[in-house]
Structure 1
């Protein structure tokens, strides 16, 4: 999960409107894209509180969750119109300033279990980690623009080779930075979304991407049917998976389950999720309404 939330931000930034060079987005479009995230965040808060679902406040805080973080990133990106060519610089400046704040006392505040009654202290992890996620997003926008979209980088065979090489080189660079930052600056922490966590997420996602790009060498390429099934309703599939996880945790004491029972639960979980998503795909239902 710690890697998943960062990977979601990176994947979203690499193919975002900003990475494709679409600079102007009116407020109506911006609010339409943010409103589902705010509603999902509020819904998650209400439902988890209503059923007394166990939530670790050290993750994002008492009231905050990752949907609110995504909404905040989207709003900040809409307010500050930064050309993708310069997003990398702005993202780096934000991350360095945030990391310096962590180094000079902010990390002690975020990692402390003590909380005051004000809204900031109650949700300190979620609120302050926005800076880390926003910096990560801006760097992802710059990488997506520079590698995949500038001058039609993904359309020509020669450029594809250059793109593959760029991804591999960047992967090595970010892994090297992660090792150095983790050892000499600050340990990787998703809770704070510090600089070492950002480079770690970027390194791992670029590594996965570089491996997937080797499929260009396969003579015949076809998207797997399973990919098409999930791609049609990615957010709906994600939400259903989360709801199923919650229902299982509420109805079964998973911590006390045997290995055989755990495997059975996971297999049943995957089969049910696949059946539900396939049913929606078969009937050509698209759940996106914004």
Structure 2
């Protein structure tokens, strides 16, 4: 790569201070309003059933295109984009009756009683939730869009990763990726696979981490070998996000053993975040990470990645805490599906409120009672952990509320066949595809991002050219996700 251009690219993503959280919330809300419109079209007129070519195009435009446009050309008009998406959804909700589902053939009374008893016991206690699929897919789509869009001028600098202190859209995406992984990891805990001994769990987690370590080394070698522009203060000289993801499983298993004494993952996450923040404030650790010279040793060269891992571990555990509360079916002799869903909504609302309150008091002076600690993604400090956790619980609440309003049958099914049909009806094909092979799609997006940057001078691209490249890139990534889904392929990395 031309050294002058490389220096320009590195300067383009360096020394940034981020933007306002209110604007970040407005921009990310576009994903929810797009799902709102998708849900209105599906529940009221079954627009995406059968799944025709026009349905695929609209699905892509709503769930991928809307996010892309909110990050770029609509970045300063996100409120307008939200209104444009929400207005037709509200009109459909008010003017059109809910689309009736096909009735099943009647059963005889005795067969019906036997079947209902068997069905209630056969239902998976930890079902697939459309709102959780949608949440994870939206996060993945936003991440894939952001990693390339950030290299173009059409992507505002206030959305790019901050240097030391502040909040930005890209900083939110990195933490949300880890939180999302923590949410789905709760499923294995709920299925009681964790009864195995710690050494056995560690061996299993290390096996899971090996592919991520390999990807991390491949990225490291490719960046160094191709002389690719890099932002060293992001993770360090050699560290990258794949190494952070690879180290999470074994460390999570170690901390999982502490649940025998502290059964609440939220408390574990808080203890880690508080202990790390105390170390930052009461020792020379903060100065060492931020301003000390990079010595010859590996720790000094990669100190951002090594120490920020502590914050990401807390975020992962906070995500697992949320997953444990929302994944179980929650029904029983004394609780109906409607009551169970209300419990999930209340739980998510309370968690979002509590974490938001903790973030408010931790990151501001809050009428003289707050700590006033600025957010730092580079440190992954306590305010950062609280911000990521509060935001993602709020996101889950919104997606869960949309599903509950438009697709109540998805959580009220009485047998496996009916539940599978209702879940499929309530889930976007594009979202399901991104969720199914999330990490593999993320890897493809990283490879395409590198290819585009090597072939296109992104800094010099005008808005029309940048948007053409980004739309084509988003379409290819979506095509890969859909292709893997339609082929029945599920890659576990």
User: TM-score higher than 0.5 here?
Assistant: yes
Q: Does 1:12 align with 2:188?
A: no
- 2: CA distance, partners of 1:78 / 1:6: 20
CA distance in 2, matches of 1:181, 1:218: 37
Alignment correspondent of 2:280:
102
Distance 1:155 1:38 in 2: 45
Residues 155 and 85 of structure 1: is their aligned pair in 2 closer, same or farther, counting only changes over 3 Å?
A: farther
Kindly state the Cα deviation for residue 255 of structure 1 after the two structures are TM-superposed: 1.4
Corresponding residue of 2:66: none
Q: TM-score, normalised by structure 2?
A: 0.55
**Of 356, 360, 371, which residue of structure 2 is paired with 1:179?**
360
Q: Is the 8 A contact 1:30 1:74 kept in 2?
A: yes
CA offsets, 1:238-288, max 9 Å, x none?
111111111111211111211111111111111222223333333333333
Residue 87 in structure 1 maps to residue 265 in structure 2: yes
Q: Does 2:299 align with 1:120?
A: yes
Q: 1:198–1:132: structure 2 CA closer, same or farther, 3 Å change rule?
A: same
Q: What SS class does the counterpart of residue 82 from structure 1 fall into?
A: helix
* d(CA) in 2 for partners of 1:140, 1:82: 17
Within the candidate set 137, 149, 158, 2:339 is matched to: 158
Q: TM-score with structure 1 length normalisation?
A: 0.91
Contact 1:85 1:145 in 2 (8 A): no
Aligned length: 289
1:72 counterpart residue number: 247
Structure-1 separation of matches of 2:195 and 2:353:
34
Task: Give me the whole-angstrom Cα distance separating, in 1, the residues matched to 2:273 and 2:434.
Answer: 33
Are the equivalent residues in 2 in contact too, given 1:170–1:203 (CA < 8 A)? yes
Query: Relative to structure 2, which stretch is displaced further, 97-106 or 190-199?
Result: 97-106
2:404 to 204, 213, 216: 216
State the shift of 1:21 in Å: 4.5
Q: What are the equivalent positions in structure 2 for 1:1-290 lying under 5 Å apart?
A: 1-16=170-185, 17-18=188-189, 21-25=192-196, 26=200, 27-80=202-255, 81-83=257-259, 85-104=263-282, 105-112=284-291, 114-149=293-328, 156-183=337-364, 184-214=371-401, 215-219=403-407, 221-288=425-492
Conserved 8 A contact 1:168-1:206: yes
Q: Distance in 1 between matches of 2:271 and 2:482?
A: 44
Structure 2: runs of 5 or more not aligned: 1-169, 365-370, 410-424
The RMSD of aligned alpha carbons is 2.3
Q: Distance in 2 between matches of 1:150 and 1:222?
A: 17
Retained in 1: the 8 A contact 2:351–2:390? Answer: yes
Question: Structure 1: how far apart are the matches of 2:191 and 2:291?
Answer: 41
Q: Is the Cα contact below 8 Å between 2:325 and 2:347 reproduced in 1?
A: no
Partner Cα separation in structure 1 for residue 455 and residue 292 of structure 2: 29
